[in-house]
Amino acid sequence: MHDSSALLIELGIVLAALATLAALARRFGYSPVPLYLMAGLALGPGGVAPVPAAGAFVQTGASIGVILLLLTLGLEFTVGEFAASARRHIPSAWADFVLNAAPGATAGWLLGLDWIGSLAMAGITWVSSSGIVARLLSDLRRLANRETPAVLSVLVLEDVAMAAFLPLLSVLASGGTWWQGALSVAAAVAAITLAFAATHRLSGPLGRIVDTDDPEMLLLRVLSLTLLVAGITELLQASAAVGAFLVGLALTGQVADRTRRVVAPLRDLFAAVFFLAIGLSINPRDMLPVLPAVLALAAVTAATKVATGWYAAKRDGAALRGRLRAGTVLIARGEFSLVIASLIAVPKLSAFTAAYVIVLAVAGPLATRLTVRSRRRSTHAGTAAGAVTD
């Protein structure tokens, strides 16, 4: 009974804090993501007001949050639209890998890590946070922007690449051989290929299975399907987020429209929990000794992500400002970076990754918001100049 009351009280405090921060962010027209992350630091181990009883719920809720964020992103596209965009952006994915993995590998060598640790650092700096990017695109109403398909293509291709990278790193870190790693990679790639093929073939039947005018039934059907597919995808050594995204792609037309409406409140709740969980997983005291090196690497890899997004959006014909928006929205790192660090039992790497993630998870949304403000100021200035001329 005591444990139950502690859980309820702590969850009440956590949700009240998130509600207050969301209201504050909305008041000034910003995304609440950086504030949720900072709240996680304050409420986690080493913070000013730890909430240990709520920890298990938050971790489970975080997994659901990223799944719902990617589900709603998938609802914005059809299978054909995304497949065409992904094929067009394979060069963008290669540019993303070269530009963002190389600084991490170099940093690992400078930090004195072995080659497996340096490989892990390459992955840590390579992959953007699917959850943070998805929330930013929604918060800033960019889902219909010209550059958004390029951003999503890069993001999902990164997640697909992680399906091969994580099993390989896991095998090597545990002392396995290259051929054992290659078998794990082959199995993961086969699973992802099968999942994409199934999405294309089953798009119509899945829509008919979940379709209903009853909002409650629709929510239960879509949520059960999404969690099942996400769980199976993760069981096959791929990302659960990719599975959720594929479910979203499979639902089209009126089914997709109704699904957006019923899922939105649940997505917003668990998305807030997801961002809180990133902060809760990090002890602020571990960050301080490595902060100077982290800030240097964060500056370099923020610039390389902007270059990645710029290049990808240019391939889609986006204007200069759209290319900048695409670049800044990809800056944030998050869940995958922390997972990669957890596979390598090196305390120095864990502390470094925690600090790196929190710096870019906060800086990314702020940089993204600044591009919006810059655009609005330019628009207002142009309107004022036109009025004076008239």
The predicted structure's pLDDT at residue 2 = 55
Q: Which of 288, 323, 290 is nearest to 305 (CA)?
A: 323
The predicted structure's pLDDT at residue 372 = 62
Residue 113 is given by DSSP the state -
The predicted structure's pLDDT at residue 220 = 93
The predicted structure's pLDDT at residue 381 = 44
The predicted structure's pLDDT at residue 365 = 86
The predicted structure's pLDDT at residue 174 = 79
131, 334 contact by CB (below 8 A): yes
325, 147 contact by CB (below 8 A): yes
Q: Is the dihedral of CA 260, 261, 266, 268 positive or negative?
A: positive
Residue 139 sits at the vertex; the CA angle it makes with 135 and 143, to the nearest 5 degrees, is 80
Phi, psi of 57 (to 5 degrees): -65, -40
What residue ranges of the chain have pLDDT lower than 50? 1, 378-390
Q: CB neighbours (10 Å) of residue 270?
A: 19
**Is 265 exposed, middle or buried, given 0-12, 13-18 or 19+ CB atoms closer than 10 A?**
exposed
* Distance from C-alpha of 54 to C-alpha of 344, rounded to nearest angstrom: 27
Q: 134-170: buried (b, 16+ CB within 10 Å) or exposed (e) per residue? A: bbbbbbbebbebbbbbbbbbbbbbbbbbbbbbbbbbb
The predicted structure's pLDDT at residue 390 = 35
**Largest distance between two CA atoms of the chain:** 73
* DSSP three-state, residue 333: coil
The predicted structure's pLDDT at residue 385 = 40
% of the chain exceeding 90 in pLDDT: 24
* Distance from C-alpha of 294 to C-alpha of 150, rounded to nearest angstrom: 28
CATH code for residues 2-371: 1.20.1530.20
* Distance from C-alpha of 353 to C-alpha of 158, rounded to nearest angstrom: 18
* Distance from C-alpha of 328 to C-alpha of 333, rounded to nearest angstrom: 12
* Distance from C-alpha of 44 to C-alpha of 106, rounded to nearest angstrom: 31
The predicted structure's pLDDT at residue 186 = 77
Hey, where are the domains in the chain?
Answer: 2-371
What lies within 8 Å, CB to CB, of 358 at 6+ separation is 37, 41, 278, 279, 282, 287
The predicted structure's pLDDT at residue 382 = 46
